[in-house]
Chains A and B, each alone.
Chain A
Amino acid sequence: MRIPLQLAVIFAICLAGEFLHRIVGVPLPGNIIGMVLLLILLCTKVIKPEQISGVSSFFLNHLALFFLPPSIAIMAVGDDVLSKWPLLLFLCIAFTLVAIAAGGRVTQFFIRRQEYRENLALRAERLSKRAECNGTIGGEK
């Protein structure tokens, strides 16, 4: 697909997401619905990743750029919030670190447990197969 057509496809998905949010009333932001819609289109092979790779890699490679203008809103807060900014800044930073640690440790703990169980199951399977083989050999004797 040519780049303008790729953009049109992505924007159509954005608009469909906004439609489902604002008109139909799905209680999720339009762009998140859009992400789910694109995922469905990819999974059902209606769209192949290569067909939109020009636009998708542009957005993904420069993702941070699109957050720069909203982040400038930091200039516009009131004095009551502004007077507490060192505390709020500290809380945001500290809790982010805690949340990363918690999310990561919990995920890793359950992944390790699952992998351990899968290894055990695999080993048990191999052992039982070996026992079966030995059994048949023994039986032939």
Chain B
Amino acid sequence: MNAIINSPLFGIFLTLIAFETGVFISKKFKYSFLNPLLIGNILIVGFLLITGVSLESYNVGGDYISVMLSPATVVLAVPLYRQIQKLQHFWKPILAGIFAGSITAMTCVIVAGKLLGLTKVLTLSLLPKSVTIPMGSVISSQIGGIPSVTIIAITVTGITGAVAAPAVCRFCHIKHKVAQGIAIGTASHALGTTRAMEMGEVQGAMSSLAIGIAGLFTAVVAPVLTALS
């Protein structure tokens, strides 16, 4: 049985089935918190806990899919290229919005860390949580956080963005498509972008634009905030 479990095909198969089940359930019930990723995550974690299969065994196959994050990030340039006209026209509001979103996310973490008495390591691990996983984990280790905690915080943040973004936009009267996309990409990276793409191509493109710029801002500002806090 171990030979089967430790085969890369096992992790890949489990991921595909869990994801497709998630997509099926979210399409069937149409509640926004029933995110395919959220369902897939619960299904796989539940399966591993119940059967006692280790995370390492799952990752033998899971890593094959994780590798594809890199090309998946690269092709984000395509929707970005298609929307480049809008980027040029609104470049000032876009930069202002991304900066505001990034600073807000980081300031909240630092203030909460002080008020709630979190350990410094934990605060620093949460600091780059709005940034895409490859960038955030690097920033985290650079400023003295724990990358694995950061990755989890980033995932929760991304799921939150993907689940709640349309509701927040409605509640806060964020109606402009460019503003919606920028807000989602800045606050919840490529995971939120999956939802932004469902909202429309403008939102998707602006969101994927914001991922990179928010990452740059965070990479520059996070060490400064760390020194100040």
Contact = CB atoms under 8 A, between A and B. Distances in A.
Nearest to A69: B62
Interface residues of A, number: 72
Interface string A87-126: 1110111111111111111111111111000000000000
Which secondary structure dominates where chain A touches chain B? helix
27 contacts: A14-B71, A27-B219, A30-B134, A34-B73, A36-B212, A43-B84, A55-B71, A60-B197, A63-B193, A67-B133, A72-B62, A74-B41, A91-B112, A96-B130, A97-B160, A98-B104, A99-B187, A100-B184, A101-B183, A103-B104, A104-B182, A104-B183, A105-B172, A106-B101, A107-B93, A107-B94, A107-B178
B100 A29 contact: no
B45 A103 contact: no
Question: Max chain B CB contacts within 10 Å: which of A7, A32, A74, A75?
Answer: A32
Nearest to A39: B77
Interface in B54-99: 55, 58-59, 62-63, 65-66, 68-82, 84, 90, 92-94, 96-98
Contacts of B169: 100, 104
Interface in B3-53: 11, 15-16, 18-19, 35-37, 40-41, 44-45, 48-49
Contacts of A67: 37, 69, 133, 155, 158, 190-191
A80 B122 CA distance: 10
A127 interface: no
Contact of A49 (B19, B44, B82, B212): B82
Given A32-B212, A42-B81, A68-B41, A103 B66 contact: no
A92 B172 contact: no
Contacts of A34: 70, 73-74
B143 interface: no
Interface in B170-201: 171-172, 174-176, 178-180, 182-184, 186-188, 190-191, 193-194, 197
A96 B161 contact: yes
B133 to A, nearest CB: 6
